Structure 1
């Protein structure tokens, strides 16, 4: 069950705690554990990270990190996918990726799980945009829709063959149907195939 643990912590205290499995987030002074990802969630997360990184990593435009803790402002969030412009990744002096990211992602992607509060996830998206994020998607596998959020704009509900907004520096043309297509991995069984 997803719920609050340690109701009175500050962000610094939270960041000193051992990681939980699944990850916990720090929101409004409380530690809240995310639900354990399931099949559809995992498949969407992996294929979407791969699609983005195949387009941007070699040219060092951006990078999509799955389940990366991002601590900024008064929250510590673990987006399903956090996309950072390459120039904003806080590389260590030796060029290695750091363990700690203390800034909001440029593009935050969340995949709604059935037991997850859509309002809590939306609240995290809005907070990220208020803190400097530039784009967010909220994928709902149940109805195959995606809400697209941008700063100081109304969210846009995208479905079917609607094309999705991405960061302008990323050359990626995707429709909602293309995002959800990887969920189908085999043909349905028929009595003759059993």
Structure 2
């Protein structure tokens, strides 16, 4: 949903506005409200963050943030999951994580909600890649597919239902430094919580 302003505002003016729930993004001079996450979206977001952080946080390799505002270039976006290499997190002098991230993530993950327009979501992934992001995932729970984006390359559509004895090509691409083996089936398998 696009929120109309009486007059166009700048990115700096947008960043001074109070945060809302659900969050709003600033894209090409427009304020766009993201839909409120629902069950499947929240489950996938939480599990993806936990899976990444389980193998990266203690070793200070990377950290996956849910719903983190990232403001860079001419946009302020809130990826569903923003993964930053540890050395790129702009810690305060006391070691605390900052509130403001004025840089793109190393890996951006967007989970499509039914109310969202896919091209707007993919547009944010492409924008991140144009500004230094190294990997993007577009997760579609309805289609049970993940579109994987790398800078300067054609996206690759990954779908489930492959055998458990996985050839390397069937595994989803993650950042090279992160030792994590994920497949489409495993990720969408997280949606099943009973029986």
Question: Of residues 172, 175, 186 in structure 1, which corresponds to 2:194?
Answer: 186
Where 1:49 maps in the other structure, the secondary structure is: helix
Establish whether residue 24 from structure 1 lines up as the match of residue 24 from structure 2: yes
What corresponds to 1:143 in structure 2?
A: 143
* 1:59 positional shift: 0.2
What corresponds to 1:102 in structure 2?
A: 102
Establish whether residue 175 from structure 1 lines up as the match of residue 183 from structure 2: yes
CA RMSD of aligned residues (A): 0.8
CA distance in 2, matches of 1:9, 1:3: 14
Where 2:48 maps in the other structure, the secondary structure is: helix
CA distance in 1, matches of 2:10, 2:142: 35
* 1:41 positional shift: 0.1
Where 2:190 maps in the other structure, the secondary structure is: helix
CA distance in 2, matches of 1:83, 1:49: 8
What corresponds to 1:165 in structure 2?
A: 173
What corresponds to 2:69 in structure 1?
A: 69
CA distance in 2, matches of 1:3, 1:131: 24
What corresponds to 1:192 in structure 2?
A: none
CA distance in 1, matches of 2:125, 2:4: 22
Where 1:60 maps in the other structure, the secondary structure is: coil
* 1:5 positional shift: 3.2
CA distance in 2, matches of 1:121, 1:41: 14
**Unaligned stretches of 5+ in structure 2?**
163-169
Provide the TM-score with structure 1 as the length reference. Answer: 0.94
What corresponds to 2:42 in structure 1?
A: 42
Q: Deviations over 1:1-48 (max 9, x none)?
A: x22232611100000000011000000001100000000000000011
What corresponds to 1:134 in structure 2?
A: 134
**Unaligned stretches of 5+ in structure 1?**
188-194
* 1:143 positional shift: 1.1
* 1:107 positional shift: 0.1
* 1:133 positional shift: 0.3
Number of residues paired by the alignment? 186
CA distance in 1, matches of 2:52, 2:80: 14
Provide the TM-score with structure 2 as the length reference. Answer: 0.94
